[in-house]
Amino acid sequence: MKTVKLGQQGLIVPAVGLGCMGMSEFYGQADDAKSLKLLDEALGIGCNFWDTADMYGPFTNEELLGKALVNRREKIILATKFGVKRGQDGAWLGISGSPEYVKACCDASLKRLNTDYIDLYYQHRPDPEVPIEETIGAMAELVQAGKIRYIGLSEVGAEELVKAHHVYPVSALQTELSLWSRDVEGMVLPKARELGIGFVAYSPLGRGFLTGAIKQRDDLERGDWRLSNPRFSEKAIASNLKLVEKVEEIATEKGVTPSQVALAWVLAKGDDIAAIPGTRHPEYLNLNWASQVIVLSENEKSELDVFSNNFKVVGDRY
């Protein structure tokens, strides 16, 4: 198993983790029984770096993981997030990074997760109204209290990363990175590297698009969040499929799946990068897990790099 050391504080995780978001919301119907079985299987193969957030569900994704943790908490490297406020009815209530909010969220997450510690606690989105130093200060107090082990940030810029890291060592930055979302490679990833902060790539399969499984809007269930995402409009899909065709071409030549090429490309970006593909299917879990041993040749890497660099993705990320 390939592992990645996230940050200087010593958090070691498998290079391929498991994104759990889609098990509860956004990508189709939730089926807790199937998801619990999948989480069992994941643990069985060693895929024990699980990613959730309080706002997924909302709240039900943490509850699901809470059930999966019973009697084996220490076997799982558990990552969750706070900061995006949701109501019980699903309403979107803004962003908060206030110290009181951070502490209340942590206690609520611990309760739902059925545990007394979180391995990696992320601020999900920076709060423009609260200096990041204050938020990190509160997170540092949570480390001192033994409620969380490591600190992470999600979707912050290079400047915020520096400010935060100055207050308390940040172990991981989680941000979108895939063949169709490469902005982070410009300023942010180099800054994280300079500071010795590990990187966790979310949506490494382009929310499923890069696997080739989504060729039209009808391939998504009614109510799927992606139907309202700009990259999944009819026009965007038609154009963005040219990138998928490139991935498929390389996958066919190599005798692997497009999903494996997409993941191997992310992992090939560096030994400080872990990816957290999300799935609800055992066959996908196994394919994704196996992608850590797929080595792209220099030619394949550069072909993908150049093609995706020159490719004009249609639609914003959000």
Is residue 180 involved in binding ligand NAP (CB under 6 A)? no
Which residue stretch of 95-103, 188-196, 199-207, 229-237 sits at the interface with ligand NAP (rule: CB under 6 A)?
199-207
Count the site residues for ligand NAP by CB under 6 A: 29
DSSP state of 90: S
Cβ closer to ligand NAP: 283 or 298? Answer: 283
Which residues make Cβ contacts (< 8 Å) with residue 27, sequence separation at least 6? 21, 207, 208, 224, 225, 226, 278, 280
Residues 85, 58: contact at Cβ < 8 Å?
no
Tokens coding 286: 């196994």
Question: Least distance to ligand NAP from the beta carbon of 19, Å?
Answer: 2
Given the complex with ligand NAP, which of 158 and 205 has the nearer CB atom?
A: 205
Separation of alpha carbons 53 and 21, rounded Å: 8
CB of 51 to ligand NAP, least distance (A): 4
Ranges within 229-268 binding ligand NAP (CB under 6 A): 259
Cα torsion 246, 247, 253, 257: sign = negative
- The token pair that represents 101 in the structure block: 């909010």
Q: Is 284 in the site for ligand NAP (CB under 6 A)?
A: yes
Rg over alpha carbons for the chain, rounded to the nearest Å, is 19
> Amino acid letter at 175?
T
For ligand NAP, which stretch binds (CB under 6 A), given 16-24, 104-112, 245-253, 303-311?
A: 16-24
| 287 touching ligand NAP, by CB under 6 A | yes
Question: Could you list the residues that contact ligand NAP (CB under 6 A)?
Answer: 19-22, 27, 51, 124, 154-155, 174, 202-208, 211, 213, 259, 276-281, 284, 287-288
